[in-house]
Structure 1
Amino acid sequence: MYKLALSVRRGEPGTEIRDEWLWGSATETVWEFRSDRPLPGTRALLPLLQLDYAPPTDLCGTVSAGHPHRLPVTVRQQPGLPAPRGARITVDVSFDEGLSWRAARINGTGREVVATIAAGGAPGGTVSLRVRARDTAGNAIEQTVLRAYGLR
């Protein structure tokens, strides 16, 4: 079993770079995966699960603070690898940039689910996400996106 971690931050508060990146300003992704050594002279794709989100934001990247909303989440493999089997997905949400988290209700099973994000936060605030997925082969991903999108 291997573990790979990636942390990305876009600028510090009050800097020009931070002002350009209102949403998704920091991500932490940790993959766990199994991999065999490829045959000599060959390459092997690593089974790093990927997450796709489709929040119902407006053109400014915001949703209404006063209403729950649905967040479709899909787990997939890199192109060239078979789709993950038996995926289990959980979603946690934070309205205080990761200081506290609460579980979202999940509808559906497998590679595509819809999380119901309860009404929370205040206009001008943000929604942060922490999503975990694992397939039956033991491959897993945990991804935290601070300031994933805003509230209006």
Structure 2
Amino acid sequence: MTRPRINDGIQQPTRTADRIDVTIPSWGDSGGDHANYAAFGSTGSTDRTELRRNGALLAAGSSGLTSTVPATRSAYRLTHTATRDATAEFPYSTATRTEWAFTSALPSTPDRPEQLPLVQLDYTLPTDEDGRAARDATLLVTPLHLTGGPRAALRTRKVELSYDDGATWTTAGLGSRGGGRVATVLNAPASARYVTLRVHAGDSRGNTVTQTVVRAAGIAR
């Protein structure tokens, strides 16, 4: 399940003094082992990253950005969107949107980089070798902090599923698996060819993430 995923192997999202630096690999796999900037098997792809404070656009870039920000504690919204051309070999994850909300202020040691509290999302969904899940497959969603992130309880608030590329949505019933993890059964209709998902999660300090993955996986016929 390919989507944006920051892991420990790349530059971490940080604030140093009055500067925020963020780099986001658009095409990580369903866990956290691989962080890819190139769309697998696609000849065409796009990505865009935007940072806003109180609704006002501060900076924009492709896979990342740098922005000067005020010293006072403020609410920020970081949005990353990506698209890729579907291919016969890999028709999945044709579009994603990930939106992080967090607060930030001048670090206590200004010249030392302070990690931004961007909650990540991992997914487990059994599929066949062609990337297709059974109609009654169980999806496991795991929210997590980056290494060195805040000691704050994590929670998956809502999982939405779509079988028409996001035209209509159904709120999934969730079963807790502890530590903020949840599981849900797809219950895909007979006509479904793909599952699209939208996940809302966050932590007890108010940091949140909403991630949408169009055609996250296929549905076996």
* TM range, smaller chain: 0.7 to 0.9
Of 96, 103, 111, which aligns to 2:164?
A: 96
Of 52, 67, 91, which aligns to 2:122?
A: 52
Contact 1:122/1:151, CA 8 A, preserved across alignment: no
- The residue type paired with residue 95 of structure 1 is Y
Q: Work out the CA distance in 2 between the residues paired with 1:41 and 1:119.
A: 51
- What is the CA distance between 1:69 and its match in structure 2? 2.0
Give the 3 Å change call, closer, same or farther, for CA 145–95 of structure 1 in structure 2: same
Of 187, 190, 201, which aligns to 1:118?
A: 187
Q: Work out the CA distance in 1 between the residues paired with 2:146 and 2:172.
A: 26
Of 61, 68, 72, which aligns to 2:140?
A: 72
Q: Which has the bigger relative contact order, CA under 8 A and spacing at least 6?
A: 1
Q: Residue 91 of structure 2 corresponds to which residue in structure 1? A: 22
Q: Which whole-Å deviations, capped at 9, do the CAs of 1:47-101 have from their partners, x for residues lacking one?
A: 0000000011111110124xx2210100001122145404233110000000000
Give the 3 Å change call, closer, same or farther, for CA 96–121 of structure 1 in structure 2: farther
Instruction: Find runs of 4+ consecutive structure 1 residues off by over 3 angstroms.
Output: none
Contact 1:132/1:140, CA 8 A, preserved across alignment: yes
Q: Residue 147 of structure 1 corresponds to which residue in structure 2? A: 215
RMSD: 1.7
Contact 1:84/1:135, CA 8 A, preserved across alignment: yes
Q: Work out the CA distance in 2 between the residues paired with 1:89 and 1:121.
A: 28
Question: Where do residues 34-49 of structure 1 align in structure 2 (5 Å cutoff)?
Answer: 34-38=103-107, 39-49=109-119
Q: Residue 66 of structure 2 corresponds to which residue in structure 1? A: none
Q: Work out the CA distance in 1 between the residues paired with 2:94 and 2:152.
A: 28
Q: Work out the CA distance in 1 between the residues paired with 2:94 and 2:174.
A: 25
- Could you tell me the TM-score, scaled by structure 1's length? 0.86
Q: Work out the CA distance in 2 between the residues paired with 1:27 and 1:84.
A: 26
Pairing 1:63–2:137 present: no
Give the 3 Å change call, closer, same or farther, for CA 35–87 of structure 1 in structure 2: same
- The residue type paired with residue 2 of structure 1 is Y
Q: Work out the CA distance in 1 between the residues paired with 2:111 and 2:150.
A: 22
Pairing 1:3–2:63 present: no
Q: Work out the CA distance in 1 between the residues paired with 2:83 and 2:155.
A: 28
Overall identity of the aligned pairs, in %:
36
Q: Work out the CA distance in 2 between the residues paired with 1:69 and 1:21.
A: 20
Give the 3 Å change call, closer, same or farther, for CA 128–138 of structure 1 in structure 2: same
Unpaired runs of 5+ in structure 2? 1-74
Contact 2:83/2:96, CA 8 A, preserved across alignment: yes
